[in-house]
Amino acid sequence: MERIPEKHAFRGKAACIAVGSELLGDAKLDLNSLEITQTLETYGFNVVEKRVVGDSVERIAASIRELMNGCEVVIVTGGLGPTADDVTREGVALALARELFFDPEVEVWLQERYQRVGRTMPEIGRSMAMVVEDSEIIRNTAGSAPGILVEEDGRLLAVFPGVPWEMRSMVESHLKARLEQRYDGSIRRSRTLLMGGVVESEVEGRIRHLYDRFGRDNVTILASFGVLRLVLTATGAEAQVEQDLDRMEEAFREILGDDVAGIDIPGLAHVVIPALVDSDKTLATAESCTGGLVGAALTNVSGSSDAYMGGVVSYSNQAKEEMVGVPHEILVEHGAVSEPVVRAMAEEIRKRFGTDWGLGVTGIAGPSGGTDEKPVGLVHWAVAGPDGVVARHRVFPGDREIVRQWSVNVVLDLLRRQLLVGAK
């Protein structure tokens, strides 16, 4: 449990509010907060909450009040435009119990801005010249609606337009300087250990005793269909933070060993491709249930063409026979989703492409096609290399998309581990 101290508990904490009813539907997401979070973390702020609120003065005001209570920095985006549903200015004024008044100087800026793009400011544009008492107005160099900066009780409230490039330009021109002033030299930085072929609760059991040593809040486990990310975080002066992260990484690696595939990389393909390139080896793939996802993951790594020669998506049995070279008898006897077939896929694709390594995966991704003996989620995978073939299988939980994602990760992890054996 987090302790709430009486005083200064708001220091170093930050929150984001995105305003706009369109961000509450099922089609559009608030992405501004991702960029703002990056900036906040660079200056050592810890984002403790994010909100999306509709175009309601009361809701905007309540959120600003609630978050300014517990945070040093609150960033609001959106709702500053000229139309009737743009009510963020009113929300800010209500939250701070300040007046809104018309600023003729801002109106002149706005008129100039419209003229520059060859238009006349519409009457409704005047609403953007309403300013909050005792606030700093940020002139919008990338659009029209001005931004707002308010300092109160040691807090900073920054209000930017929702248009990404307008927001971005104000973050650069105004927010960073204000955060810099508050910067106490303490930053917050993370390092992510990517793991393959492990189960969350098992890993948790192995590393649990390290929580006390490094702090429970500094270690987060994220599981995602065959890969696990262990996020280590440290806060402090820049030089100290890197040392702390080195110490943490060392301690976790000591326990997790080869289960750690890499550091700060997006996925297992980003380990496999460099490992192949460094050892001057090549790879080909034969995919069934993944339908090309393994190839897509591998070729998502820039420079993959030095190691990945290509593959066959053998969705039909005919393709497995003719394009990959799986013997007809094996297919008939064992069925397309079986260990003998996946072994043949890995071996034969290796031969066809003349590569050092070959990889095969076949399974029943669902929702249909399952039987009692071979249920939906059953996947066989194999890796063929200089020393023979290794095959595995498992029944994965989840829907079609998830079974496919699991399949990609387990086959890449098996290849990763075989490459490690080869390198030792």
Phi-psi category of residue 336: left, alpha or beta, with phi > 0 → left and psi -120 to 50 → alpha: alpha
How many other C-beta atoms can be found within 10 angstroms of the C-beta atom of residue 224?
13
Alpha-carbon span 274 to 75, nearest angstrom = 40
d(CA 185, CA 179): 11
Q: Site for its own copies (CB under 8 A): which residue of 115, 279, 316, 371? A: 316
Q: Of 180-239, which residues contact its own copies (CB under 8 A)?
A: 190, 192, 199-202, 204-205, 208, 211, 216-217, 220-222, 229, 231, 233
Q: How many CB atoms lie within 10 A of CB 90?
A: 19
d(CA 253, CA 193): 9
Distance in angstroms (rounded) separating the CA atoms of residues 379 and 154: 57
Of residues 82-121, those binding its own copies (CB under 8 A): 82-85, 87, 90, 117, 119
**147-152 and 136-138 strand pairing:** antiparallel
| Positions 233 through 292 that interact with its own copies (CB under 8 A) | 233, 285, 287, 289-292
- Please, what is the minimum distance in Å from the beta carbon of residue 421 to its own copies? 25
Candidates 175-183, 245-253, 294-302, 409-417: pick the segment binding its own copies (CB under 8 A). Answer: 294-302
Spatial separation of the C-alpha atoms in residues 95 and 82, rounded to whole Å: 20
226 by DSSP, 3-state: which? coil
- Rounded to whole angstroms, the Cα distance separating 36 from 19 reads 14
Q: Based on CB atoms, which residue is closest to its own copies, 136 or 263? A: 263
**Nearest CB to its own copies, comparing residues 103 and 204:** 204
Residue 371 binding its own copies, by CB under 8 A: no
Q: Which is nearer to its own copies, 136 or 394 (CB)?
A: 394
Phi, psi of 230 (to 5 degrees): -110, 110
Residue of 297, 407, 310 lying closest to 357 (CA atoms): 310
x-marked contacts with its own copies along 403-422 as a string, rule CB under 8 A: -x------------------
Instruction: State the nearest-atom distance from the C-beta of 162 to its own copies, in Å.
Output: 10
Give me the least distance between CB of 59 and its own copies, in Å please: 6
Q: How far is the CB of 131 from its own copies (least distance, A)?
A: 19
Cβ closer to its own copies: 164 or 422?
A: 164
The 124-163 contact track toward its own copies, x by CB under 8 A, reads xx----------------xx--------------------
Whole-number Å distance between alpha carbons of 411 and 293 = 11
Query: What is the torsion angle, in degrees rounded to the nearest 10, for the CA atoms of residue 267, residue 269, residue 273 and residue 276?
Result: 110
Residue 410 CA from chain centroid, whole number: 20
Count of residues of this chain found to bind its own copies when the rule CB under 8 A is applied: 113
Cα three-residue angle 18-22-25, rounded to 5 degrees: 105
Minimum distance of its own copies from residue 49's CB (angstroms): 5
Task: Pick the binder of its own copies from 133, 165, 279, 375 (CB under 8 A).
Answer: 165
Q: Which is nearer to its own copies, 110 or 159 (CB)?
A: 110
Least distance from its own copies to the Cβ atom of residue 233, Å: 8
Shorter beta-carbon distance to its own copies: residue 119 or 420: 119
Site for its own copies in 331-370 (CB under 8 A): 352-354, 365-368
Task: Please provide the distance, in angstroms rounded to a whole number, between the alpha carbons at the two ends of the chain.
Answer: 44
Task: Output 107 or 204, the one with its CB closest to its own copies.
Answer: 204
Mask for 24-63, x = binds its own copies (CB under 8 A)? xxxxxx-x--xx-xx--x-----xxxxxxxxxxxxx--xx
Q: What is the helix (H) or strand (E) element at residue 40, kind and residue range?
A: helix 32-42
Q: Mark the segment that binds its own copies (CB under 8 A) among 77-85, 149-157, 247-255, 410-418.
A: 77-85
Which residue among 108, 371, 399, 421 contacts its own copies (CB under 8 A)?
399
CA angle 110, 172, 51 (to 5 degrees): 85
> Least distance (Å) from its own copies to the CB of residue 299?
3
Query: For residue 13, what is the DSSP state?
Result: E
